[in-house]
């Protein structure tokens, strides 16, 4: 079903509600629009309903998006500017309370307490330069063009179709400031998501393709329960990558690590395949890859690196399935939010 047809259905629904249901507030109309779109868009994947719609705020306390709590499980983030879904998950572990939440980028939804804790790590100079009045437009590397998007039409995909790697990657979760001292990074660092994403990919290849990529005791170190899983492997990779932190080419330094392991494969930056094409290529190879979502203008939050594990289509759009490096697996993110793709070959 095309977006024009969906838009017509939405308009007719709102008109009928207005005529026969009495006065309908603008907030009610917007919520009806969100519910109808999200339920229809995800219906080809699972029979879900939107139980509640909650506003998401930027750091200036302005509403910039909407968090849809799904039943039987999962969530979706609706973008009111482009009227699409920025990210979603149907996993049971994706649950949010009804308290106020802040949205500072894809997969980064925080309560006030969580946000304050994160911002406490950021140097004052960067905090002062932060643009608080951002919108969801700032989360896109390529702004959505509904006429030219990598949607289900024209890309050889059909609604409800997708593919992912055959094994669950190790869900390393040690990118936590309580571990920064052990990881040998400064206390006010923005984190080690790049090193962690590399560690997840390397451990997967070592587990299922070639066992020369890392030491077993390193990849099995720590535990999920105390947020230290994979900490020794991440620490080793930090020693190669983090001296270049802030450089857009920091992942090239992973080649030094690969060389130290005596493997012939190297890391590559994909510049030709496209985000959906890259996800399809790696799913077919049965190997995860590293993707980056770009920081938004004047942001202190920096780029965020995640692990791509597959792709999926909804009624009108295609998404990349990621492990976000924050403990959440099976999150689908909008193609327009992705900046770069890196893979080992």
**pLDDT at res. 151:** 45
Confidence of residue 138 (pLDDT cuts 50, 70, 90): confident
Instruction: Tell whether the model's pLDDT for residue 290 goes beyond 90.
Output: yes
**pLDDT at res. 303:** 67
Question: What is the C-alpha to C-alpha distance for residues 296 and 136, in angstroms, rounded to an integer?
Answer: 9
CA torsion 220→343→338→334, rounded to 10°? -70
Say which range, 2-6, 164-168, 192-196, has the weakest mean pLDDT. 2-6
Q: Where are the alpha helices (DSSP H) in the chain?
A: 3-20, 26-42, 112-119, 124-129, 193-208, 216-219, 231-241, 254-260, 275-285
Question: What is the C-alpha to C-alpha distance for residues 311 and 277, in angstroms, rounded to an integer?
Answer: 9
Average per-residue pLDDT in the chain?
Answer: 83
Between residues 60 and 187, the one the model is more confident about: 60
Query: Which residues contact residue 6 at a Cβ distance below 8 angstroms, ignoring those fewer than 6 apart?
Result: 37, 40, 316
Say which range, 58-72, 92-106, 179-193, has the weakest mean pLDDT. 179-193
- Over residues 193-222, the mean pLDDT reads 96
Q: Indicate the DSSP class of residue 277.
A: H
| Domains of the chain with CATH codes | 162-344 (3.90.70)
Query: Which residues contact residue 138 at a Cβ distance below 8 angstroms, ignoring those fewer than 6 apart?
Result: 131, 296, 297, 299
CA angle 134, 189, 226 (to 5 degrees): 105
DSSP 184-253: T--TT----HHHHHHHHHHHHHHHHT-TTSS-HHHHT-S-TTTT-TTHHHHHHHHHHHGGGTT-TTGGGG
Confidence of residue 28 (pLDDT cuts 50, 70, 90): confident
Q: What percent of the chain has pLDDT over 90?
A: 52
Confidence of residue 9 (pLDDT cuts 50, 70, 90): low
Q: What is the pTM of this model?
A: 0.84
Question: What is the C-alpha to C-alpha distance for residues 167 and 12, in angstroms, rounded to an integer?
Answer: 45
Confidence of residue 300 (pLDDT cuts 50, 70, 90): very low
Confidence of residue 80 (pLDDT cuts 50, 70, 90): very high
**pLDDT at res. 229:** 95
**pLDDT at res. 47:** 92
Between residues 204 and 97, the one the model is more confident about: 204
The residue count of the chain comes to: 345
Closest-CA residue to 233 (of 262, 210, 264, 204)? 204
Confidence of residue 273 (pLDDT cuts 50, 70, 90): confident
Confidence of residue 154 (pLDDT cuts 50, 70, 90): very low
pLDDT per position as a tens digit, 234-259: 999 999 987 655 455 667 889 999 99
Confidence of residue 152 (pLDDT cuts 50, 70, 90): very low
Instruction: Tell whether the model's pLDDT for residue 280 goes beyond 80.
Output: yes
pLDDT per position as a tens digit, 216-233: 999 999 999 999 999 999
Largest CA distance in the chain: 72
- Over residues 25-51, the mean pLDDT reads 92
**pLDDT at res. 145:** 56
Say which range, 12-26, 42-56, 61-75, has the weakest mean pLDDT. 12-26
pLDDT per position as a tens digit, 94-115: 778 889 999 988 888 989 988 8
């Amino acid at each position: 079903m095309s977006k024009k047809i969906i838009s017509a259905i939405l308009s007719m629904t709102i008109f009928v509600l207005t005529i026969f249901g009495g006065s309908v507030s603008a907030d009610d109309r917007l919520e009806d629009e969100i519910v109808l779109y999200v339920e229809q868009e995800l219906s080809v994947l699972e029979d879900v309903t939107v139980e509640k719609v909650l506003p998401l705020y930027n750091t200036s306390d302005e509403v910039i998006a909407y968090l849809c709590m799904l039943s039987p499980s999962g969530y979706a983030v609706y973008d009111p500017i482009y009227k699409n879904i920025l990210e979603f998950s149907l996993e049971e572990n994706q649950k949010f309370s009804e308290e106020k939440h802040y949205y500072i980028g894809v997969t980064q939804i925080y309560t006030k307490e969580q946000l304050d804790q994160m911002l406490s790590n950021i140097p004052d100079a960067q905090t002062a330069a932060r643009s608080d009045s951002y919108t969801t437009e700032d989360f896109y590397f390529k702004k959505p063009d509904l006429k030219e998007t990598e949607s289900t039409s024209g890309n050889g995909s059909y609604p409800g179709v997708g593919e992912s790697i055959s094994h669950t990657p190790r869900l390393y979760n040690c990118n936590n400031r309580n571990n920064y001292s052990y990881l040998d990074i400064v206390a006010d660092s923005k984190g080690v998501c790049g090193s962690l994403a590399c560690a997840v990919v390397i451990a997967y290849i070592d587990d299922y393709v070639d066992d020369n990529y890392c030491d077993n005791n390193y990849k099995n170190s720590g535990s999920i329960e105390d947020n230290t899983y994979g900490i020794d492997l991440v620490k080793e990779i930090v020693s190669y990558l983090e001296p270049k932190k802030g450089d857009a080419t920091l992942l090239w330094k992973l080649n030094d690590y690969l060389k130290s392991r005596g493997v012939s494969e190297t890391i590559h930056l994909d510049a030709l395949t496209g985000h959906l094409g890259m996800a399809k290529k790696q799913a077919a190879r049965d190997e995860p890859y590293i993707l980056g979502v770009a920081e938004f203008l004047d942001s202190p939050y920096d780029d965020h690196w995640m692990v791509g594990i597959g792709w999926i289509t909804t009624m009108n759009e295609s998404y990349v399935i990621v492990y976000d490096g924050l403990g959440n697996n099976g999150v689908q993110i909008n193609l327009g939010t992705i900046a770069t793709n890196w893979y080992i070959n």
